[in-house]
């Protein structure tokens, strides 16, 4: 289902961001074209250059780094068949749930008409926080798809719920979401191509 599809991958500031490189590799193996948007926090865990080399496309971090030749967040949004945010922090989930657009990823997410798939990764106490869970439930009601986090060793020590789902599980879910998606009548050109 992902062959020939344009996947826009959002990477946020979780320790699990290092897995984005392998996730891109798996998506490439499915013959998907992958473009990456990173938050500034994500760049503290893995470099944009690493993801650029693996994806074969420029990585976007700064909203204002472009030449002005095109409105990048709109162009990226229009080119996507799927916006996959993995790993997704409590911060980006809160922004999405409340319509906050203050960086390249959250701004692009508000412009995307393609399906949105979120793969959370955070400490168990954060994942089960009532505010985070309310934000997740709100997004579900808005037809946002989720890949549930898993139980296992945590970066902070001990074990708990909140680990990023295994990458093959994320890719399989991405395929399911893309396979069941129907283009909205107002966006017949969705997924045509990415810039650059």
Q: Is 191 helix (H, G, I), strand (E, B) or coil?
A: coil
Q: Which of 53, 112, 115, 118 is nearest to 90 (CA)?
A: 118
Question: What letter does residue 164 receive in the DSSP assignment?
Answer: P
Q: Which of the residues 53, 131, 134, 156 is marked catalytic?
A: 156
Q: Which of 117, 63, 61 is nearest to 93 (CA)?
A: 117
Backbone angles phi, psi at 15, to 5 degrees: -60, -25
Contacts of 161 by beta carbon, 8 Å cutoff, 6+ apart: 124, 127, 128, 149, 150, 151
Q: What share of the chain is helix, strand, coil (3-state, %, to 5)?
A: 40, 20, 40
Residue 156 catalytic? yes
Q: At what angle do helices 130-141 and 90-98 cross, to 10 degrees?
A: 50
Q: Go through 35-68 and write b for each residue having 16 or more CB atoms within 10 A of its CB, e for each that does not.
A: bbbbbebbbebbebeebbebbebbbbbebeeeee
- Which residues are part of the catalytic machinery? 156
């Amino acid at each position: 289902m992902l062959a020939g599809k344009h996947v826009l991958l959002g990477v946020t500031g979780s320790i699990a961001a290092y897995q984005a490189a392998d996730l891109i590799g798996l998506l490439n193996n499915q013959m998907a074209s992958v473009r990456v948007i990173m938050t500034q926090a994500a760049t503290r865990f893995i470099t944009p250059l690493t993801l650029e080399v693996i994806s074969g496309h420029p990585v976007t971090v700064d909203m204002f780094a472009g030449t002005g030749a095109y409105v990048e967040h709109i162009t990226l949004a229009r080119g996507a068949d799927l916006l996959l945010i993995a790993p997704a922090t409590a911060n980006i989930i809160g922004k999405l749930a409340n319509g906050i657009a203050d960086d390249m990823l959250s701004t692009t997410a508000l412009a995307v008409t393609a399906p949105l798939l979120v793969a959370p990764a955070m400490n168990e106490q954060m994942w089960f926080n009532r505010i985070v869970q309310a934000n997740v439930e709100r997004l579900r009601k808005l037809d946002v798809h989720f890949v549930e986090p898993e139980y296992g060793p945590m970066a902070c020590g001990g074990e708990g719920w909140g680990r990023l789902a295994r990458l093959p599980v994320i890719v399989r879910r991405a395929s399911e979401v893309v396979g069941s998606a129907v283009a909205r009548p107002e966006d017949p050109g969705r997924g045509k191509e990415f810039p650059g």
